[in-house]
C-alpha cells in the first residue's frame, strides 16, 4: 500500500497519470470515429507515414515530433483528397504509404551524421518520460477534439453513417472529412511520445471495440471508450512501474486483456440471455 | 411550375461516360418513373441530378417559385446496399438525419423536430422500432426508415431509388398510397423495376439505358421495352390496377 502511495510523489508518475487521462480522452473519441467509420487501415497508413517525418526531421535537425505531425497531416489530407475521386478501399496504395513512411524514416536516420537517436522511444513511446511541454500539447489537442465532437457529434455521426445522403443534403462533407482526418493525424502524433508509432493504433481501436460489444450507440461508445481506455492505461502504467517493463507495451497489453475479458463477458451474457429466452418459452 | 431544368446532361465516373444527352424539365407536381436495365445508369442519373457526381456536360437549373435559386430541398432514398449495417446508429437518429438541413447547425433536438419525427414514424409504421439499431431491422423495415429520412423535411423534390426493394406487398401498396399523397406537395422521381407499379402509379416515364428518353405518359409500350432491353419484373398486385405487358423477345 505504501508503495502505491509512494509512487504518486514522483513528478514523472504524476505526469504519466495526467498524460494517460489526456491520451485516453483523445483516443477514445477519435478511436470511436475510425472504428465506426472503418478507416482503421487508413489510420495505420497515416501512423507509419509519420515515421518518415521523424527521420527527415532528424536529418535536418528539426523537432522530430513536428516532422511527424507534418507528415501525418499531409498524408491524411492526401488520402482524403484521393478518396474524393476514388473509393478509398485502395488497400495496396495505403500499404505502400505505410511502408514508404517507415523506409524513409530508417533511411534518413541512418544517413544522419553522428549521433543515432534511440528509435525505440518513437516506435514504442515512454509515458514515464513525458514533459510539461508534452502535457501542454496534449491538453491543446484534448480541447480541440472534445469541443469539436461536443458540438458536432450528430453531424459527424450522420456523415460517417451515410456520406452520400449527407452530401445530397448540402452538408460540407468534404470539409468535415478534412478536419476529421487532420484530427486523426494529430491524435497519432500526440501519442507517439506515449505509446509510440507501433502501438498507437490499438490505443485507438481497442476501447471502442470493447464498448461496442455491449453498447450500440455512437454517442455512448464515444463516452465509454474513454473510461475503458483510462482503465487500461492506468492498469498498464502500474504494471509497467512494478514489473519494470516498457510502459507503452504494458498499456496495450492491459487493453488486450480488457478486450478478452469483455469478449468473454459478452459471450456469457448472450448465453444467459438465450437460455433465459428458452426457459421463458417452457 | 418548373422546379428543375436539365439540359444536355452527361455524367459518369473516372473518365467513363455512363449517361448522356439527358434533357428533362421537372414540374412541381411531377411523378416520374425511371426504368431501364441493371447498369443502365439510373442511379447515375439520380446522382447527377442531385449534384453528387460532377457533370461532364450540360447544366441543371433549379427554380423556386419561378425564380432561379442555387438549391432546393431534396429528399433522397438511396438504393439499399451502400450503408454499413453494423454502424451504431438508432432508427430515430437515421430518420432525424433527414432534417439535417432544416435544423440548426448543432442538430439539437427540439419539440418541433420531435413531433415531426413521431408523426413520420407513425406514417411509416415504425414507431415501435425507433430505439433499435438500424442494422437490426429487416430489409423492409430499414427501407421504411430510409423513406422516413427522405420525406421528414417535406422536400420540394423526392428522389427514390428502388423504394420497394425488400418491402412486402402489403406495405408496397401502402407505400404508393403514401407517395400519391406526398405527390400533392412535392415532385417525385422514382426508379423502379416493377413495371406494373410504374405504369399504374406514376404520371410519366423516362427510360435510361446509357441515353435518356422521356415519355410524357405512363403507358409502357412494347417498343420502349425493346428499345431499352428492360428485363423487368411484372408483378400483379391484388387490388392495384395494372397492365400486363407483352414479353419482349
Ligand atoms: N462509383 C462508381 N464508379 C465507377 N463506375 C460506376 C460507379 N457506380 C456505377 N458505376 C457504373 O456505372 C454504370 C451504371 O450504374 P448505375 O448504378 O447507374 O446503374 P443502374 O441503372 O442504377 O443499375 P441497377 O438497376 O443495378 O441499380 C454501371 O456500369 C456501373 O458499373
Ligand atoms: Mg441503381
Determine which of A23-27, A137-141, B242-246 has the lowest per-residue pLDDT on average.
B242-246
CA of B38 to the centre of ligand 2 (A): 7
To the nearest whole Å, the CA of B83 is away from the closest chain A CA by: 6
Q: What is the tally of structural domains in chain B?
A: 1
Distances (CA, A) of A250 to A124, A203, A219, A238: 10, 11, 28, 9
To the nearest whole Å, the CA of B50 is away from the closest chain A CA by: 6
- Is the distance from the beta carbon of residue B78 to the nearest atom of ligand 1 less than 6 Å? no
Distances (CA, A) of A90 to A28, A93, A161: 26, 5, 20
Instruction: Quickly tell me which residue has 429528399 as its cell.
Output: B75
Query: Residue range B78-100: average pLDDT?
Result: 91
Determine which of A35-44, B193-202, B230-239 has the lowest per-residue pLDDT on average.
B230-239
CB atoms within 10 A of CB A119: 17
For an interface test with B, the pick among A39, A149, A172, A216 (most B C-beta atoms closer than 10 Å) comes out as A216
DSSP state of B184: T
In 3D space, the residue among A66, A70, A53 whose CA is nearest the CA of residue A109 turns out to be A53
Say if B121 falls within a structural domain. Answer: yes
Say if B249 falls within a structural domain. Answer: no
In this prediction, residue B232 carries a pLDDT of 46
Pairwise CA distance, residues B94 & B148, whole Å? 9
- Is the distance from the beta carbon of residue B87 to the nearest atom of ligand 1 less than 6 Å? no
Residue nearest to atom 1 of ligand 1 (CA): B13
To the nearest whole Å, the CA of B63 is away from the closest chain A CA by: 16
Pairwise CA distance, residues A114 & B36, whole Å? 70
Sign of CA dihedral A90, A91, A95, A101: positive
CATH classification of the domain holding B133: 3.40.50.300
| B165 vs B195, more confident | B165
Say if B170 falls within a structural domain. Answer: yes
Domain that holds residue B165: 2-244
All structural domains of chain A: 2-199 (1.10.3470.10)
Residue B29 near residue B204 (C-beta atoms within 8 A): no
Ligand 1 pocket test, pick from B20, B40, B52, B190 with the greatest ligand atom count within 8 Å of Cβ, gives B40
φ/ψ (deg, to 5) at A116: -95, 125
pTM metric for this prediction: 0.89
Residue A163 near residue A91 (C-beta atoms within 8 A): no
Cβ–Cβ gap A212/B78 under 8 Å:
no
- Is the distance from the beta carbon of residue B13 to the nearest atom of ligand 1 less than 6 Å? yes
Query: Residue range A52-70: average pLDDT?
Result: 92
Say if B167 falls within a structural domain. Answer: yes
CA of B40 to the centre of ligand 1 (A): 7
Ligand nearest to the CA of B35: 1
Q: B12 - beta bridge partners? A: B17
To the nearest whole Å, the CA of A70 is away from the closest chain B CA by: 30
CA of A33 to the centre of ligand 1 (A): 29
Distances (CA, A) of A25 to A225, A229, A233, B104: 8, 8, 11, 27
In this prediction, residue A87 carries a pLDDT of 57
Residues in chain A: 282
Interface of B with A (CB under 8 A): 14, 50-52, 71, 74, 76, 78, 82-84, 87-90, 93-94, 97-98, 100-101, 105-107, 133, 149, 159
Say if B218 falls within a structural domain. Answer: yes
Determine which of A46-50, A189-193, B150-154, B223-227 has the lowest per-residue pLDDT on average.
B223-227
In this prediction, residue B237 carries a pLDDT of 40
Pairwise CA distance, residues B84 & A89, whole Å? 14
Pairwise CA distance, residues A169 & B73, whole Å? 8
Would you place residue A282 in the very low, low, confident or very high pLDDT band (cuts 50, 70, 90)? Answer: very low
Pairwise CA distance, residues A45 & B41, whole Å? 35
In this prediction, residue A2 carries a pLDDT of 63
Would you place residue B164 in the very low, low, confident or very high pLDDT band (cuts 50, 70, 90)? Answer: confident
pLDDT at B106 over 80: no
Task: Return the axis-axis angle of helices A173-192 and A64-85, rounded to nearest 10°.
Answer: 150
Mean per-residue pLDDT over chain A, rounded: 90
Would you place residue B227 in the very low, low, confident or very high pLDDT band (cuts 50, 70, 90)? Answer: low
pLDDT at A279 over 60: no
CA of B161 to the centre of ligand 2 (A): 7
Say if B61 falls within a structural domain. Answer: yes
Q: Are strands B31-35 and B187-191 parallel, antiparallel or unpaired?
A: parallel
Residue nearest to atom 17 of ligand 1 (CA): B43
Which residue is closest to B92 within chain A, CA to CA?
Answer: A217
In 3D space, the residue among A211, A218, A78 whose CA is nearest the CA of residue A161 turns out to be A218
Amino acid at each position: 500500500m505504501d508503495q502505491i502511495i509512494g509512487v504518486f510523489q514522483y513528478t514523472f508518475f504524476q505526469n504519466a497519470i495526467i498524460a494517460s487521462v489526456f491520451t485516453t480522452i483523445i483516443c477514445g473519441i477519435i478511436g470511436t470515429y475510425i472504428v465506426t467509420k472503418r478507416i482503421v487501415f487508413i489510420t495505420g497508413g497515416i501512423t507509419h507515414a509519420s515515421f518518415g517525418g521523424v527521420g527527415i526531421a532528424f536529418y535536418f535537425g528539426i523537432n522530430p515530433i513536428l516532422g511527424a505531425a507534418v507528415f501525418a497531416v499531409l498524408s491524411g489530407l492526401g488520402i482524403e483528397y484521393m478518396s474524393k475521386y476514388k473509393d478509398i478501399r485502395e488497400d495496396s496504395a495505403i500499404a505502400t504509404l505505410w511502408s514508404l513512411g517507415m523506409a524513409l524514416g530508417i533511411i534518413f536516420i541512418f544517413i544522419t551524421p553522428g549521433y543515432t537517436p534511440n528509435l525505440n522511444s518513437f516506435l514504442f513511446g515512454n509515458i514515464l518520460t513525458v514533459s510539461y511541454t508534452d502535457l501542454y500539447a496534449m491538453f491543446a489537442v484534448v480541447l480541440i477534439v472534445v469541443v469539436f465532437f461536443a458540438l458536432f457529434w450528430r453531424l459527424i455521426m450522420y456523415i460517417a453513417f451515410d456520406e452520400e445522403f449527407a452530401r445530397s443534403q448540402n452538408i460540407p462533407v468534404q470539409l468535415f472529412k478534412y478536419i476529421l482526418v487532420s484530427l486523426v493525424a494529430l491524435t497519432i502524433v500526440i501519442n507517439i511520445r506515449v505509446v509510440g508509432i507501433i502501438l498507437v493504433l490499438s490505443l485507438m481501436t481497442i476501447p471502442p471495440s470493447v464498448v461496442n460489444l455491449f453498447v450500440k450507440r455512437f454517442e455512448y461508445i464515444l463516452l465509454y471508450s474513454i473510461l475503458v481506455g483510462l482503465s487500461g492505461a492506468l492498469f498498464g502504467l502500474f504494471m509497467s512501474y512494478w514489473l519494470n517493463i516498457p510502459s507503452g507495451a504494458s498499456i496495450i497489453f492491459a487493453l488486450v486483456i480488457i478486450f478478452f475479458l469483455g469478449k468473454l463477458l459478452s459471450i456469457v451474457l448472450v448465453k444467459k440471455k438465450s437460455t433465459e429466452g428458452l426457459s421463458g418459452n417452457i | 411550375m418548373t422546379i428543375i431544368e436539365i439540359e444536355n446532361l452527361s455524367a459518369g465516373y473516372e473518365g467513363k461516360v455512363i449517361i448522356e444527352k439527358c434533357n428533362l424539365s421537372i414540374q412541381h407536381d411531377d411523378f416520374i418513373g425511371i426504368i431501364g436495365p441493371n447498369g443502365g445508369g439510373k442511379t447515375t442519373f439520380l446522382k447527377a441530378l442531385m449534384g453528387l457526381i460532377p457533370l461532364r456536360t450540360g447544366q441543371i437549373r433549379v427554380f423556386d417559385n419561378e425564380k432561379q435559386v442555387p438549391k432546393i430541398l431534396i429528399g433522397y432514398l438511396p438504393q439499399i446496399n451502400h450503408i454499413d449495417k453494423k454502424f451504431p446508429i438508432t432508427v430515430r437518429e437515421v430518420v432525424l438525419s433527414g432534417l439535417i438541413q432544416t435544423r440548426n447547425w448543432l442538430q439539437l433536438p427540439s419539440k418541433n423536430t420531435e413531433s415531426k419525427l413521431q408523426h413520420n414514424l407513425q406514417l411509416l409504421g415504425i414507431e415501435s422500432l425507433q430505439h433499435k439499431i438500424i442494422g437490426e431491422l429487416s430489409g423492409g423495415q430499414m427501407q421504411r426508415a430510409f423513406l422516413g429520412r427522405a420525406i421528414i423535411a417535406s422536400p420540394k423534390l423526392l428522389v427514390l431509388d428502388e423504394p420497394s426493394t425488400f418491402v412486402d406487398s402489403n406495405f408496397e401498396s401502402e407505400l404508393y398510397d403514401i407517395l400519391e399523397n406526398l405527390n400533392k406537395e412535392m415532385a417525385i422521381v422514382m426508379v423502379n423495376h416493377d413495371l406494373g407499379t410504374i405504369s399504374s402509379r406514376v404520371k410519366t416515364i423516362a427510360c435510361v439505358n446509357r441515353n435518356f428518353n422521356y415519355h410524357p405518359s405512363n403507358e409502357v409500350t412494347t417498343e420502349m421495352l425493346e428499345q431499352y432491353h428492360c428485363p423487368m419484373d411484372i408483378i400483379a398486385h391484388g387490388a392495384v390496377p395494372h397492365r400486363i405487358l407483352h414479353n419482349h423477345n
